[in-house]
Structure 1
Amino acid sequence: MGDAINGLHHVGHIVRDMREAMELYRRLGFTVPAPAYPVLPRVAGGPAEPFGVANTHVHFPGGFVELVAVVDDTGRMPAGARPIPLRVPDDERPRLTAAIRATAANITSFLERFEGLHIMIADTPDIDGVAARLASAGVVHGGVHAVQRPVETGAGTRMEPARYLEISAPGLPAGRVPEGRIGFAENAPGEQPHIDHPNGATGLAGCVLCVADRDLPETEHRYGAYFGERLDRAKLTVVPASALAGLLPGERPAALPAFAGYAVSVRDIAATERLLRGNGVPATRTGRGEVLVPAAAALGTAITFRQDA
């Protein structure tokens, strides 16, 4: 085992303004749940205030798009946002506060590069096997961690366990590679959420990584070590900068290396295109007949809609 990959677990779209991002994604035809905002008293006995990093998940069967924003100094939350109380003993508050600040600083560093896609996590049913394979291949990672993540169901939001690991690159902070955050996640067995999206989206279909032409061989070698020489199993396309416009017409990389965009499968591509145009979203057709919303209209990431096979 250790080479079992079931495509994308999720991609992370880092945005400056959660309200703006939610409005955009709803115009794109996605169902967007209320975002979660951690709240914590800054001092013992003080009021709980939004703090750190907020997110929401656009769910598909087996995967999701995560919208991520740093909570600003005003602590404002969008209407309907879900405050998530962080309960911690007073003597542990400094440690937790420092960890949250470090996470927020990491997200801020992504935004300093560009607003857009910075996170790609592959799905695996055997994360312990993946961890062992990576270690044997000399790939540095931070070990397997357990978390709880919100999952939308017909009966509301429930917390489900998940396990993940992040890959690290030499000379960069833990959990970072040159293009952002890469890793693997394993969901607990159980029913996957099914969310109806007005645009007919059925799942995450792919992710595009753009690199400098001279760096293409090294990047393909590096990702071969990550994913066992089979990038297609992770639904990842690595493209040199000179070829990006051929794959995503009109697109130019905001930085190199960088994730240039992601793809979503839909039930009826013509109906999706009508919805986008009806909502005032600029969209063009690619040479392969897919519908492309350019990064300039989608907060820094190109979004491709393709017919579900």
Structure 2
Amino acid sequence: MGHDTNGLHHVGHIVRDMDQAMERYRRLGFTVAAPTYPVMPAAPGGPAEPFGVVNAHVYFPHGFVELVAVIGDTGRAPGGARPIPLRVPADKAAGLRAAIRATAANITSFLERFQGVHIMIADTPDIDRVAARLTAEGVGHGGVHDIQRPIETAQGTTMEPARYLEISGPGRSAGRVPEGRIGFAENTPVNAPQEHTDHPNGSTGLVECVLCVADTALPEVERRYGSYFGPARDGRATRFDGADVTVVTASALAGLLPGERPAALPAFVAYAVSVRDLSATEKLLRGNDVPVTRTGPGEMFVPAGAGLGVAIIFRQDGSVKGSLVRDVDARRT
């Protein structure tokens, strides 16, 4: 196991206010692509109306952070957002609208838990192989979905094919596990223009996601994640290298990220990005009045209070992969 997974594809940060989130991420030194949202007529021949969710992306050469907010009944989209018309046959329109509303309801339920990261999608070169493996191991999932997603390119917004699969937890609806939504996406290249992958903070990639669980739940989560992503590397935090995910208990979190407390359990409490020059990143953040905590010579983090519900770790490019596991062990010895 694990050979069919190539780290993180993306994480999804659920936010209450997209305008606020984009401003915060830009203050953190990220380049945020223009948000998009779906529009389609409420009835045949009627005007196109916004509904469902609005998304914005922080792109890296491989992987991205997705910002997600619910449009809600007001139909208000954030400033600068681009509508994406959904064109489907008349007999499919009602089903598509229902599916998107179901997604929005799912996102709303995540937000009711807390504002922060609720989505973690692993990258794979062969999603059909992953689906077959999960089925053989008795892991519930919703099958492989073929969709089209909006991508910002040098020529404007285009729709590109994407394939994904969502894990289903026992007794839960499709695409839901206790910590939120996890799954796999096939690594179709994201043809984002270079200006969208150049970040003032020097970030170069999405390299880790951190899940915090109750101490008593750790064995079950390790078993579950092992069936999803392959063997773990054990320590006081458990690292699944196949998906770039670290699992840490609530009692060990403060040793990993000093001062941090989970908003709920289980929860994705942090994600990490690599940067070209950590000192330059720190200077930019402090210059923007963003609080940072150094956890070692090659790593620091912005606390969840300043990251809209998720701690954001900045790690020197080229540092040891999975250094969270190494560092928490070193601080406990």
TM-score (norm: length of structure 1): 0.95
Kept after mapping to 2: 8 A contact 1:251/1:294: yes
Kept after mapping to 2: 8 A contact 1:61/1:193: no
Deviates more, 1:236-245 or 1:284-293: 284-293
Q: Deviations over 1:178-207 (max 9, x none)?
A: 001111111336867641111001000100
Name the residue aligned to 1:176. 176
Name the residue aligned to 1:211. 213
* Structure 1 gaps, min length 5: none
Shift of 1:95: 1.9
Name the residue aligned to 2:43. 43
* SS of 1:172 mapped into structure 2: coil
Distance in 2 between the 1:92 and 1:146 partners?
16
Distance in 2 between the 1:150 and 1:105 partners?
21
CA gap of 1:58–1:38, structure 2 versus 1, over 3 A, is: same
Kept after mapping to 1: 8 A contact 2:84/2:150: no
Cα RMSD for the two superposed structures: 1.7
Distance in 2 between the 1:138 and 1:276 partners?
45
* SS of 2:168 mapped into structure 1: coil
Kept after mapping to 2: 8 A contact 1:7/1:235: yes
Shift of 1:290: 1.4
Residue 253 (1) aligns with residue 262 (2): yes
CA gap of 1:13–1:270, structure 2 versus 1, over 3 A, is: same
Q: Which amino acid aligns with 2:158?
A: R
Deviates more, 1:96-105 or 1:283-292: 283-292
Name the residue aligned to 2:322. none
Deviates more, 1:297-306 or 1:229-238: 229-238
Pairing 1:1-309 to 2, within 5 Å after superposition: 3-188=3-188, 194=194, 195-230=197-232, 231-287=240-296, 289-309=298-318
Q: Which runs of 4+ in 1 moved over 4 A?
A: 189-194
Q: Which amino acid aligns with 1:239?
A: V
CA gap of 1:211–1:288, structure 2 versus 1, over 3 A, is: farther
Shift of 1:72: 2.6
CA gap of 1:189–1:31, structure 2 versus 1, over 3 A, is: closer
Shift of 1:40: 1.8
Q: Deviations over 1:215-249 (max 9, x none)?
A: 00110011000012241121100000000111111
Shift of 1:59: 0.5
Identity over the aligned pairs, expressed in percent?
75
Kept after mapping to 2: 8 A contact 1:3/1:129: no
CA gap of 1:299–1:189, structure 2 versus 1, over 3 A, is: closer
* Structure 2 gaps, min length 5: 233-239, 319-333
In the alignment of these two chains, the number of paired residues is 309
Distance in 2 between the 1:126 and 1:267 partners?
30
